[in-house]
Amino acid sequence: MPEATSYAPPTARRPVLRIESGGADWVMDEVATEMPLTLFVNNVEVATLVATPSDLEDLVYGFMVSEGIIESPRAVRLVEVDATAQTARVLADANVSQSAQRMFERRYIASCCGKGRASIYFESDASALEPIVGGPQLAAADALGLVQRLQKESEIFRRTGGVHNVALARPDGTIVATRADIGRHNALDKLYGHCLQQGIDTSELICVLSGRVSSEMLLKAAKLRCAIVVSKAAPTELALALAEEIGVTVVGFARGERVNVYTHAERIAL
């Protein structure tokens, strides 16, 4: 559905005193922008997401499905994103009051920013996911290439250094889609929402991250049915425990000439 108004720019220019090599000068610098987006589903306030003002409809779809508010995009009747009012209003075939209550009764709290952001997940999230079997094979050298390609395609990051980037890619190195956001969870939800709306089969694709592989990021990638998650950063212990259980291959520290394969190494070729 068309948005009620256009989004604000994802970056802004501001003066900064740059001190370098013993000298100082005022220059114009580019910084990432952010905005709160309050999500209402069937007139129930669900959450406020603090996000980069781009691909907001993708964010809404991905967030609702990944957090279990709706089961699939087919449940959605209407989406209206109003960037001026900083709201997203959704009509959907869903018991939203019950879903929202479940979201805020979860027992485990993940590392996430943004007041009101549903940054928590059920203990049963992992057990509710079908284990991932099969999936693509990936050469270790190609894992390095995917991270490098993600960085090259991350225009907002190149301009500001202030956002996280995620991508879905084929084992041959082809990037299928990328998304960026100040929040790494939002970036992956945007990617998820894009795939849901476009009907993209993600089961043979590789999830590439610019930031650390936390437990929540691992679960979101698993909901996309991605068998391999590659990042230039580190994973957490809980993420690796979940990856072992669910059947996800986690590749971290993909930088320079090395990679660390933490779980299900059978999918990574030397």
What is the per-residue pLDDT across 74-121, written as a single tens digit (0 to 9) for each? 999 999 999 889 999 999 988 876 655 555 544 333 334 443 444 444
When comparing pLDDT for 132 and 4, which is higher?
A: 132
Give phi and psi for 10, each to the nearest 5. -75, -10
Query: Cα separation of 268 and 86, whole Å?
Result: 43
Gap between the Cα atoms of 15 and 184, Å rounded: 27
Q: How sure is the predictor about 222, in pLDDT bands with cuts at 50, 70 and 90?
A: very high
Active site members: 113
pLDDT of 269 > 50? The answer is: yes
Domain locations in the chain as residue ranges: 35-128, 138-269
Q: What CATH code is assigned to 138-269?
A: 3.40.140.10
Q: Is residue 151 very low, low, confident or very high in pLDDT (cuts 50, 70, 90)?
A: confident
The predicted structure's pLDDT at residue 5? 47
pLDDT score of 97: 62
pLDDT band of 156, cuts 50, 70, 90: confident
pTM of the model: 0.84
Q: Which of 60-64, 111-115, 244-248 has the lowest mean pLDDT?
A: 111-115
Q: Which two tokens stand for residue 242?
A: 């979940």
What pLDDT is stored for residue 158 in this prediction?
A: 77
Query: Average pLDDT of the chain?
Result: 86
Q: Which fold has domain 35-128?
A: Ubiquitin-like (UB roll) (3.10.20)
Rounded to whole angstroms, how far apart are CA atoms 62 and 207?
15
